[in-house]
Amino acid sequence: MRIPFRSLVRLVLPSLIAACTPARAPRPVSTERPLVLPAATPLVIAHRGASGHRPEHTLEGYTLAVQMGADFIEPDLVSTKDGVLVARHENEIGATTDVATKFASRKTRKVIDGDTISGWFTEDFTLAELRTLRANERLPFRSHAYDGQFLIPTFDEVLALADSLGRTRGRAVGVYPETKHPTYLRSIGLPIEESMLRSLRARGLDRADAPVFIQSFESGNLRVLSKQTRIRLIQLVSTAPQVTPAALRDIATYAYGVGANTRQIVGGDSSAVPTTLIADAHAAGLRVHAWTLRPEPVFLGTRYGGDPIAEVQEMLRLGVDGLFGDYPDQVVRGLRR
């Protein structure tokens, strides 16, 4: 029997494409319905929420990100004085809240991870005190229209929001927590990891197929976490020695993937040739999530000629498995195009 050529292509092509495509993350599932994503699309990770549009790490920013089509929302985690995890990019909150006007006298100076920093620190404030603050936009060249309006959310509130938004849209909203300053916070009796796992377990998310990735720039806490949870772990990398083939093989012993700076992927300046990071990571069995896509001239590589969509498309061409973006709408648009 002769099979028409077009039918043959339809039958065989999907298997060929699957065989030639690097191994991809199992698609996370919600507790109610499976998370359905186009097979060829990298995950869209809303970096600190839709942080190009709303002050970072606010429930409003996370919500907008999901409405824009993000697959995951990313809370960076630090601790309050009374041991509650809250979403802030760093424990110093002078640049992202109105703490300076409300608690002027509580300004102090500390050495954190080797850096001397002046400001106001979450570990010096109770949750009740932090609740009196409102979030501000960090960057001067972004809109400040929403300054002074939104609360600092707790990690539990972020999880509840993701669950609720997931049910509304009919597919899971992934959560991608990052432990910030984990060694320092443990050293002062406010460890992140146990509390983070407790919150995830309370929602039934301590599973290998949960729509959760835990990330850290430190490797010590990820190595410990790999023995405590089946949640997929992402090792953040930012230096060349961390991404040699041997280093990547070591990371693969405890992590599911790496979160790499886009510059490490494309090789740096405008004329640089892409590196072998993605191929090496995939060869080690690791996924690669790239950070951070931002369209403003101060961030966007000159190689893209001012077009942020071109960056999305280069990342897609190079085979990344996930993209962190401050403007999830742009990332979605770039992937669709």
Q: Which residues bind ligand G3P (CB under 6 A)?
A: 47, 76, 89, 178, 215, 236, 259, 291-292, 324
- In eight-state DSSP terms, residue 123 is G
**C-beta of 71 vs 178, nearer to Ca ion:** 178
Nearer to Ca ion, 30 or 211 (CB): 211
Q: 96 φ, ψ to 5°?
A: -125, 5
- In angstroms, what is the minimal distance from the CB of 177 to Ca ion? 9
Please confirm whether the linkage preceding 292 is cis (ω < 30° from 0).
yes
Nearer to Ca ion, 261 or 313 (CB): 261
Please name which of 138, 123, 151, 133 lies closest in space to residue 62, comparing C-alpha atoms.
Answer: 151
- The C-alpha atoms of residue 143 and residue 200 are separated, in whole angstroms, by 33
> Least distance in Å: CB of 74 to Ca ion?
6
Nearest to ligand G3P of 89, 282 (CB atom): 89
Contacts of 111 (CB under 8 A, 6+ apart): 117
Q: Name which of residues 168 to 207 contact Ca ion (CB under 5 A).
A: 178
What is the rounded CA–CA span in Å between residue 299 and residue 166?
Answer: 31
Told to check if 90 binds Ca ion by CB under 5 A, we report no
| Residue 28 and residue 35 in contact, taking contact as beta carbons nearer than 8 Å | yes
Torsion of CA 298, 304, 308, 311, to 10 degrees: -110
Rounded least distance, CB 256 to Ca ion, Å: 16
Nearer to Ca ion, 77 or 248 (CB): 77
Minimum distance from residue 291 beta carbon to ligand G3P (Å)? 4
Q: Which positions from 57 through 76 interact with Ca ion, judged by CB under 5 A?
A: 76
Cβ 292 to ligand G3P, closest distance in Å? 6
Q: Enumerate residues 6+ apart whose C-beta is below 8 A from 201.
A: none
Residue 259 binding partner per list ligand G3P, Ca ion, none, with a CB distance cut-off of 5 to 8 Å that depends on partner kind: ligand G3P
> Minimal distance in Å, beta carbon 180 to ligand G3P?
7
> HSE of 238 in the Cβ direction (CA atoms, 13 Å)?
7
We find the least distance from the C-beta atom of residue 99 to ligand G3P, in angstroms, to be 20
Annotate 136-182 with DSSP letters as a single string.
Answer: --S-TTS--TTTT--PPPBHHHHHHHHHHHHHHHTS--EE--EE-SH
Partner from ligand G3P, Ca ion, none contacting 171, C-beta within 5 to 8 A by type? none
- Edge to edge, the sheet with strand 76-79 lists 85-87, 76-79, 178-179, 213-216, 232-237, 257-261, 287-293, 322-325, 43-46, 72-73, 174-175
In the bound state with ligand G3P, the residue whose beta carbon lies nearer, of 103 and 311, is: 311
Spatial distance between the Cα atoms of 24 and 330, rounded to a whole number of angstroms? 22
Task: Specify the residue, 103 or 315, whose C-beta has the smaller distance to ligand G3P.
Answer: 315
**Residue showing the smallest CB distance to Ca ion in the complex:** 178
Which parts of this chain interact with Ca ion (CB under 5 A)?
76, 178
